[in-house]
Amino acid sequence: MTPQGAKLEDSRLLIGKDQAREYQLANELVGRFHVLLRNTRTHDRNNRAVVANAQAALAKINGLLDISGKVSFDIAGDSLFLNGIRLRPDFSNFQAFKSVVSHARERFIRSFSFDDAVDEDDIVAFASILSAVDPEEDEPYAQIVERMAAEGIAGIEIGHVEERGPCVARRKDKVPDPAEAVVSAFASALYFVGKSIDEGIADTGVTPRKMKRVVQLVVDSILASEEEMLSLTSLKGHAGYTHQHSLNVCIYSVMLAHRLGLPKNLLREIGVAALFHDNGKVDVPAEVRDKDGPLTAAELEAKHDHTSGGVKALSHFKEADRTILRAILVAYLHHLDIDGSGYPQTRREIEPDAVSRIVRIADIYDVLTSPRTASLKAFTKDEALTAILSNAGGQLDPTLARAFAHVMTRS
């Protein structure tokens, strides 16, 4: 049985320039990936040869996406299929095909696909993970999935071989585990935002496309299993506080926006803004950011500067669409209250936009319910909601505050 009911079509049956080009690109991509698997076993990820092959592989993937809109490889026995069409290697690339197919099968991978969120770093990380995971170890496939989530790989997906042997189950035969998908989305987003906060957007290869992709996984998980996703926000601790806080604020903000009836495309936009609302903290000294105790006036000013720092970090992108512009606005205004208190204080009076008001409430709730420092006791959910409602109409938007309390009470 072949994947997705595909016929064993010979390359001679492929007609048209696009199909011939697709076939050529697929063969070249397999060759590049074979070299990447070999190189990442012995070389650092920043090695010139590794980077060059990843760039070449990405060019092939983008070419395939331009032609058919998808790049999906399936493995059946010793054969490799691209989008349902069997690829037939010739003498020059036979070894590459054999290596890639056996490498995947030994690790119980039956399929791997690329979408338009993939970038050069994803490809290098994916090849490095496949090279590092020993097929003789227990659950090699599970190890690969876990490491991909930890690396924040957003543009590559793999499928699992249910049984050994030449017959491979069709992609749609496997019913995904909702809980597993939620944990994977949570881990990917946590790794992604943590890296951007610790190292800065400009130095980590973060792109708007990848930001949207990672947040879309979070949005999809909330819509599919809100309770499962919400339960992960309780995994709080002082270590990695800013990373976890950013993701929690994203989850709370998307939940509130969803309950308000906003469309799915806006949920992703709000999620991106919420996930990166504190990204300006990359420039705040760690001793200030994580200080256990009162801040001096100078330290408080440095902390407040993270709003303008967020604008600077997100302005790194040369082409800013509405999602990025929204994130910039929220990064700047998420500490400004509707009564004019909070910060930043400017010469010209400004009011926070609706998304900044949503993120403001989610931000306060997570701060109150998190054990941020060793000496600061966290509020219970009821205590935090009471504090938020007591400020409704003053510092906080009254409609959104009440809606948030309703969401959290019923969750």
Model pLDDT for residues 222-268, shown as the tens digit of each residue: 999 999 999 989 876 544 678 899 999 999 999 999 999 999 889 99
Split at pLDDT 50, 70, 90, the class of 11 is very low
Q: In the predicted model, is pLDDT for residue 171 greater than 60?
A: no
Which pLDDT does position 2 carry in this prediction?
42
Q: pLDDT tens, 20-53?
A: 788 889 989 999 999 999 999 999 998 999 999 9
Residue 286's domain is classified under what CATH number? 1.10.3210.10
Answer yes or no: do 157 and 229 share one domain: no
Over residues 209-220, mean pLDDT: 88
Can you give the pLDDT at residue 89?
78
Q: Two tokens at 359?
A: 């993120």
Q: Give the list of residues 6+ apart from residue 75 with CB closer than 8 angstroms, or none.
A: 3, 81, 101, 104, 105, 109, 110, 111, 168
Query: What integer is the mean pLDDT of 91-108?
Result: 86
- Neighbouring CB atoms inside 10 A of 143's CB total 16
Co-location of 340 and 405 in the same domain: yes
What average pLDDT does this structure show over 387-396?
Answer: 96
Could you read off the pLDDT of 259-277 as tens digits, one per residue? Answer: 999 998 899 999 999 999 9
Domain interval for residue 39: 3-175
Please tell me whether residue 5 adopts helix, strand or coil conformation. helix
pLDDT at 124 over 70: yes
pLDDT band at 279 (very low <50, low <70, confident <90, very high): very high
- Both 201 and 216 in one domain: the answer is yes
Whether 14 has a pLDDT exceeding 70, the answer reads no
Phi, psi (deg, nearest 5) at residue 378: -75, 145
Q: What percent of the chain has pLDDT over 90?
A: 50
Same domain? For 203 and 329 the reply is yes
The answer, yes or no, to whether residue 330 has pLDDT greater than 80, is yes
Q: Are residues 322 and 216 in the same domain?
A: yes
Residue 90, pLDDT above cutoff 80 = no
Residue 320: what pLDDT? 79
Same domain? For 212 and 127 the reply is no
Q: Are residues 52 and 155 in the same domain?
A: yes
Burial of 219 (C-beta count, 10 Å sphere; 0-12/13-18/19+):
buried
In the chain, what is the straight-line distance between the N-terminal and C-terminal CA atoms, in Å? 45
pLDDT tens by residue, 139-157:
899 999 988 888 888 789 9
Quick one: pLDDT at residue 238? 47
Query: Is 56 in the same domain as 192?
Result: no
Question: 298 and 351: one domain?
Answer: yes
The per-residue pLDDT of the chain, averaged, comes to: 85
Q: How confident is the model at residue 123 (pLDDT cuts 50, 70, 90)?
A: very high
Query: Tell me, what's the pLDDT at 161?
Result: 80
How many angstroms separate the Cα of 172 from the Cα of each of 166, 175, 176? Answer: 18, 7, 9
pLDDT, one tens digit per residue, over 345-384 is: 988 889 999 999 999 999 999 999 987 655 567 899 999 9
Q: Greater confidence, 397 or 13?
A: 397
Last residue of a domain, one of 130, 156, 175: 175
Same structural domain for residues 334 and 234? yes
| Residue 195 confidence (pLDDT) | 83
pTM for this structure? 0.64
Structure confidence at residue 18 (pLDDT): 64
**Is 100 in the same domain as 223?**
no
Last residue of a domain, one of 158, 175, 192: 175
State how many domains the chain has: 2
**The predicted structure's pLDDT at residue 170:** 34
If asked whether residues 131 and 240 sit together in one domain, one would say no
pLDDT tens digit string along 49-69?
A: 999 999 999 999 999 988 888
Mean pLDDT of 199-211: 82
Closest-CA residue to 332 (of 358, 305, 354): 305
Of 111, 144, 175, the residue at which a domain comes to its end is 175
Report the pLDDT averaged over residues 168-185.
57
Q: Do 213 and 117 form a contact (C-beta atoms < 8 A)?
A: yes
Confidence of residue 175 (pLDDT cuts 50, 70, 90): very low
Residue 5 above 50 pLDDT? no
Q: In this predicted structure, what is the pLDDT of residue 375?
A: 58
Cis link prior to 140 (omega < 30° from 0)? no
